[in-house]
Structure 1
């Protein structure tokens, strides 16, 4: 295994996602290659840093909203007690889960325990309460984020943003530096089993910086690296026939601009390929790149100038 084969697999190897035979081959290459070993160490450090980030307890107000939204439980067992207490107002209905949660918050004497047993039971109860509230809070936050996420942003788009950020952080965002498009296009030969259209759009304000290989949706993908002013634009190109879920997200018709965590994304189809672009520039930059690229391809540059 050489660097070209190993680099697209380093991220999956760092996350322990490769089958054992592939992981062994990648590790053997890492052990013998200083550049790939350095990149692998960076990926492991990034992964460890993300896992070390602190978690925060959900606030009481969120807990109250979650309990209020749960299905109402059977409150018949509580009505005789309320009547015996001379309650003038009906007892609010609560879910069974709500009753269970609140049972842990009763005074120690009400639990019918004494001595060390009371302290132990109260401590265990509070621990379970904290754990359950945190779990419910995390679930509620996840549902809220999913509900507010734009419908177009699917797992594949998330993976592209992660790929773009990872490339910028690693300092290995370009495998082949462009002198012109005839340098980049032949570089992909033998490294992937398709030939991506490559255009230098410097005249339109989008100079071609180079290209690289990446590993997206379990396949090797060609990435064309453009620059717009001080911003990098990664353009992922692969055949429509093999796009799978990515192709279903890149629906036919006008391209769809979207944002994810401060990054702009756009996708379109042209020349039998699916194109995805990611950048930290404004969405207008991607619209300009798409138009320039489509105009150049429609003009027959690939066919008239050769590949």
Structure 2
């Protein structure tokens, strides 16, 4: 790749890690990364830094008056109008990151996360799934053995994702990888149903169950045992629902 072809890719990579890329931009970035070792190395470096910050940086709840001041100031900025409602839910309104603090002109002693994967990031999960379908992006660890896949995440995440083998039920585990949604490192477990691949994204938290269809991909969302789950695939919705029920034990 030439220097000219890489121009602006650093911004796309940062936006991808923050879960802010649309499907078209994500596809363009995937094509570029497939042939550019320099940008591949940059993405890996920035992704590792983001994961370390999320896992190790101290977090503090913002006082109510400071939270209100930041939200009011951010909402007054033209480039931020219309985004505050979707990127600041009631759950994470008490937290904010260095980017928001800078935008508000504030200086904080601690780095605080702006947001985490939630229902407002549905497109980001689809984009991550589409990226993974590109050659060489699907697995960090390729194995049908959950006793191999689960330990691989040790030390790479600040939580232990539950890993189940559903081969006997027709949904074999095929591997896993680290992914980044809304700037948060998540576990991505890869299952297969016939010729269809299913990405199961996992991270700590809780939320309401839901079902969405985005760009022809079915997305099932649920929470269980202190973990959030998002299953994404072009597999028929009824079979996806069966997959969810097998994982939750509600058969």
TM normalised by structure 1 equals 0.45
Alpha-carbon distance in 2 for matches of 1:232, 1:187: 20
Match of 2:37 in 1: 37
Q: CA deviation at 1:38?
A: 7.5
1:211 pairs with one of 166, 169, 176: 176
> Counterpart of 1:162 in 2: which secondary structure?
helix
Match of 1:290 in 2: 244
Runs of 4 or more above 6 Å deviation:
none
Match of 1:161 in 2: 126
- From the superposition, tell whether residues 16 and 210 of structure 1 become closer, same or farther in structure 2 (CA, over 3 Å): closer
Q: CA deviation at 1:170?
A: 4.3
Q: How does 1:135-146 map to 2 (within 5 A)?
A: none
- Number of residue pairs matched by the alignment: 151
| Contact 2:187 2:201 (C-alpha < 8 Å) held by counterparts | yes
Alpha-carbon distance in 2 for matches of 1:177, 1:265: 23
Match of 2:194 in 1: 229
| Contact 1:39 1:170 (C-alpha < 8 Å) held by counterparts | no
Alpha-carbon distance in 2 for matches of 1:279, 1:206: 13
Alpha-carbon distance in 1 for matches of 2:128, 2:153: 19
| Contact 1:14 1:40 (C-alpha < 8 Å) held by counterparts | no
Q: Write 1 or 2 for the structure with the bigger share of helix.
A: 1
Q: CA deviation at 1:179?
A: 3.5
Structure number with higher relative contact order (C-alpha < 8 Å, ≥ 6 residues apart) = 2
Q: CA deviation at 1:281?
A: 1.1
- From the superposition, tell whether residues 288 and 187 of structure 1 become closer, same or farther in structure 2 (CA, over 3 Å): same
Compare CA radii of gyration and give the structure with the larger one: 1
Q: CA deviation at 1:217?
A: 1.3
> Counterpart of 1:290 in 2: which secondary structure?
helix
Alpha-carbon distance in 2 for matches of 1:180, 1:169: 23
2:216 pairs with one of 262, 268, 276: 262
1:15 pairs with one of 12, 33, 48: 12
Alpha-carbon distance in 2 for matches of 1:279, 1:38: 30
TM normalised by structure 2 equals 0.54
Alpha-carbon distance in 2 for matches of 1:35, 1:189: 30
Q: CA deviation at 1:265?
A: 0.3
Deviations 1:40-76 (A, max 9, x none): 39x9xxxxxxxxxxxxxxxxxxxxxxxxxxxxxxxxx
Match of 1:194 in 2: 159
Q: CA deviation at 1:35?
A: 9.1
Unaligned runs of at least 5 residues, structure 2: 1-8, 16-33, 44-117
Aligned-CA RMSD value: 3.0
| Contact 2:125 2:232 (C-alpha < 8 Å) held by counterparts | yes
Alpha-carbon distance in 2 for matches of 1:206, 1:16: 32
Q: CA deviation at 1:272?
A: 1.2
Q: CA deviation at 1:171?
A: 3.0
Alpha-carbon distance in 1 for matches of 2:134, 2:39: 10
